[in-house]
Chains A and B, each alone.
Chain A
Amino acid sequence: MKNITVLIKRLCIVSIVLMVLFLNSCKKVVFDFSLTKEFSIQAAASGANYNIKVGLPLNYNSSGAKYATIYVLDGEENFDFVANECRRISEKYGTKNVLVVSIGYGNDRSIDYTPTKVSSLTGGGSQFLNFIKTQLIPAIEKNYNVDTTRDGRVILGHSYGGLFGGYVYGVGNKLFGNYILLSPSFWFDNLVSLQFEKDNRANNKNRKQLVFMGLGEAENYGRMQAPFEAFYQTLTKHYTNIKLTKNIVKNLDHLGSKNPNIVLGLDYYFQNR
């Protein structure tokens, strides 16, 4: 009996030590400060102030061949991870890295990232898209040596950010040629973003597209899987000039699947752009 008590005590101690080690592994990784430029832009329409960060490639060259740009939604949460992964993956493939543009929060994200108004905290999507189109992209393309065509622009978003990416795919397809849509909230307002895609399909279907779609297998709240599959099947069926793939991360949920899908999405982009 004493042996068993001792064993249980030891197991408890080992568990605590392991937990401390795991907690220590949760430290946030930060992108190289010397390669990060930061400024803010006030949106003309809403007056909201957006904090913008630009992650430059190592040995960034302000002349010569143009760099592609990745516009990262929820930038305050995702910028460092995306910028570090871009560097790692581009080095892995020996290909030119990209500029990573982080879009911080100006308004509440649920206002900026949702295309239609169903409450006081939704429906600013078109205004936010206009801000990106008329203020942010021109500022980036004026100040940095970047590709100014839609093929050279990527938009990356998760959750409501993924919904916004899907909305842009429909109504702002001239602006971006590449989409990394992670756990997109396509359920929003009775699947309105799927309707936007359908309404604009005739204009968009012959354009060159690259789309990565990611989801977590454990996202089983009765709203994530079917719209995700519907969007994927629609793109497969109606778009001929598209590079498209999807990934469902086994056993992970809405937030847990985000970073694994970012890695795979960027990898897909660097391999197929």
Chain B
Amino acid sequence: MNLYKRLLFSLTIFTCSTCIAQNDTSRTTKKNYPVRQVTIEPGLGIHTNAGTDLLITNLVQWNPYKHLSLASHTSYNINNALQRNFNGIQTNYNYSINQKIGAGTTFYTQRSAHTFLLMAGLKYTSFKESLVTPDLDKVSSLVNSVSPDYGFMYSLKKGVNKYFFSFRMYVPLYPWPIKDSNILAVDGNMNNVSLEFGVGIKIN
């Protein structure tokens, strides 16, 4: 629980500090493309593992230069949201909290911006399962784990106004190849590829 509180506290501080880091929040390029300095992009998403995880996410992006992007990504995941009772096995709870920061670059087109980021951070996962079959003893299993979380993120901003459409895709580079170079470990990556959609807000 302490870890959980510390993580939440750290996330809040980091997000706030990123938000207030800049006063000048917007400018235009020579071709009038929107080069936003600070954006907040809340969204909802899924993991690609059959889409059973629901993600509530937020990306805070700061572009100090046209082609330099810094970002903070926070995600609260309700894992296995749709199947909490399966074959006599009850999921009591199952969630993850991810916090990553990263840097990358942004390319601009007429009405959109494409950002490619290398992200790194931590993932905290907690879940509990119990057997609820009358013929068998009631047994529960509890997992609390912290793991590294790094990978590539692609972020699309579509629209030139204060509010714009936001899409993100995150491809983790953990556990493969960092923890285990055996290609079988890539299932851990594939289960955590995420797709997120939302409305972004330009901060003035």
Q: A residues engaging B (CB < 8 A)?
A: 1, 4-5, 8, 11, 15, 19, 22, 25-26, 187-191, 194-195, 198, 216-218, 220-223, 225-230, 233-234, 250-256, 258-260
Query: Given known contacts A4-B68, A191-B131, A226-B130, is B143 in contact with A220 (CB within 8 Å)?
Result: yes
- Stretch from B16-24, B33-41, B158-166, B181-189 that touches the partner: B181-189
A191 touching B140 in the complex, CB below 8 Å, given contacts A5-B67, A230-B131, A260-B180: no
Check if A252 sits within 8 Å of B185, measured CB to CB. yes
User: Closest CB of chain A to B137's CB: distance in Å?
Assistant: 7
Closest to A4 in B: B68
Residue pairs across A and B with Cβ atoms less than 8 A apart, 7 shown, are A22-B176, A218-B125, A218-B175, A226-B129, A227-B131, A253-B191, A255-B184
The 3 closest A-B pairs by CB, nearest first: A256-B185, A226-B129, A22-B177
Q: Which residue in B88, B148, B186 is a CB contact (below 8 Å) of A256?
A: B186
Which B residues between 57 and 98 are near A, CB-CB below 8 angstroms? 65, 67-68, 79-80, 83-84, 86-89, 91, 94
Q: Which residue in chain A gives the minimum CB-CB distance to B140? A: A226
* Chain B residues within 8 Å of A220, by CB: 79-80, 94, 125, 127, 143
Interface of B is mostly: mixed
> How many residues of chain B get a CB closer than 8 Å to chain A's CBs?
48
Task: Quote the shortest CB–CB distance from A51 to chain B (angstroms).
Answer: 22
Residues of B within 8 A of A252 (CB): 175, 179-180, 185, 188
Question: When the two chains form their complex, are residues B86 and A223 in contact, meaning their CB atoms are under 8 A apart?
Answer: yes
Q: Contact: B94 with A255, CB < 8 Å?
A: no
Q: How far is the CA of A187 from the CA of B175 in the complex (A)?
A: 25
Which residues in window 82-122 of B have CB below 8 A to A? 83-84, 86-89, 91, 94, 104-105, 118
Contact B87 A256 (CB under 8 A): no
Task: Specify which of B67, B129, B182 is in contact with A26 (CB 8 Å cutoff).
Answer: B182
